[in-house]
């Protein structure tokens, strides 16, 4: 499903502020790349270098990427940055944002769930996909029928043409779209019931 005019306006505004979202620079850095993309999309600001160092320093704790422990620590570090970095002399505090993790049954598309509440508030959600083995960004939806996001893995030859055409049509802000049913299937997998919410506080 193609994005609405409101979606496209949001994508255009974010693109003009921070440029297109980023792809992974290594084979297994989907967690830090997705978190950076979420921050760029939500804050529409260039990120402080000290914050970037913290994000990467909390990531890549396993051979094949970032595990659940450091993904949780990363969410806590971000929340501490938002709340306390001004006390450490950082002028770019991003203090109007918050970061938190939701697990298990809290991860759903039921009415008033944290995921939709976050998106409707102008936030973004880092979702676990691929049976717990991958991180992707979910940042907007079209009346709950289609959900738009960004997979940081550079697509293989078979998917590249479709993904890049969609990415180009959204100013580099989305390269994946899920129907409500497709997203529900992802979230019903217990291995994927770990999401990181980043939103205005």
Q: How confident is the model at residue 157 (pLDDT cuts 50, 70, 90)?
A: low
Which position has the higher pLDDT, 78 or 157?
78
CATH number of 5-200: 3.90.70
Nearest to 196 by CA among 56, 79, 65, 80: 79
pLDDT digit string (tens) for 1-16? 789 999 999 999 999 9
pLDDT digit string (tens) for 165-180? 899 999 999 999 999 9
Q: How far is CA 198 from the centre of its chain?
A: 8
C-alpha span between 134 and 128 (Å, rounded):
6
pLDDT, averaged across the chain:
92
pLDDT digit string (tens) for 84-129? 999 998 888 899 999 999 999 889 898 889 999 999 999 999 999 9
pLDDT number for residue 196 = 97
Q: What are the sequence ranges of the domains in the chain?
A: 5-200
On whether the CB atoms of residues 101 and 72 are closer than 8 A, the answer is: yes
Residue 155 has pLDDT above 80, yes or no: no
Q: How confident is the model at residue 152 (pLDDT cuts 50, 70, 90)?
A: very high
C-alpha span between 27 and 101 (Å, rounded):
25
What distances in angstroms separate CA 129 from CA 84, 94, 132, one per listed residue? 31, 28, 5
Angle at which helices 30-43 and 5-18 cross, to 10°: 100
pLDDT > 70 in the chain, percent: 99
Q: How far is CA 43 from the centre of its chain?
A: 12
């Amino acid at each position: 499903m193609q994005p609405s005019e409101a979606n496209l306006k949001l994508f255009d505004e974010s693109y003009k502020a921070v440029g297109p979202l980023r792809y992974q620079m290594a084979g297994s850095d989907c967690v830090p790349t997705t978190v950076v993309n979420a921050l760029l999309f939500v804050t529409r600001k260039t990120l402080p270098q000290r914050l970037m160092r913290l994000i990467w320093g909390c990531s890549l704790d396993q051979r094949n990427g970032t595990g659940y422990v450091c993904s949780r620590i990363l969410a806590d570090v971000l929340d501490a940055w938002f709340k306390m970095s001004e006390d450490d002399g950082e002028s770019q505090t991003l203090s109007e944002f918050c970061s938190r993790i939701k697990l298990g049954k809290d991860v759903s598309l039921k009415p008033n769930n944290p995921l939709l509440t976050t998106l409707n508030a102008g936030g973004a959600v880092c979702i676990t996909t691929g049976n717990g083995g991958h991180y992707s960004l979910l940042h907007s939806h079209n009346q709950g029928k289609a959900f738009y996001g960004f997979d940081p893995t550079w697509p293989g030859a078979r998917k590249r043409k479709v993904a890049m055409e969609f990415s180009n049509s959204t100013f580099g802000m989305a390269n994946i779209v899920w129907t409500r049913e497709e997203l529900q299937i992802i979230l019903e997998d217990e291995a994927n019931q770990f999401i990181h919410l980043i939103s205005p506080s």
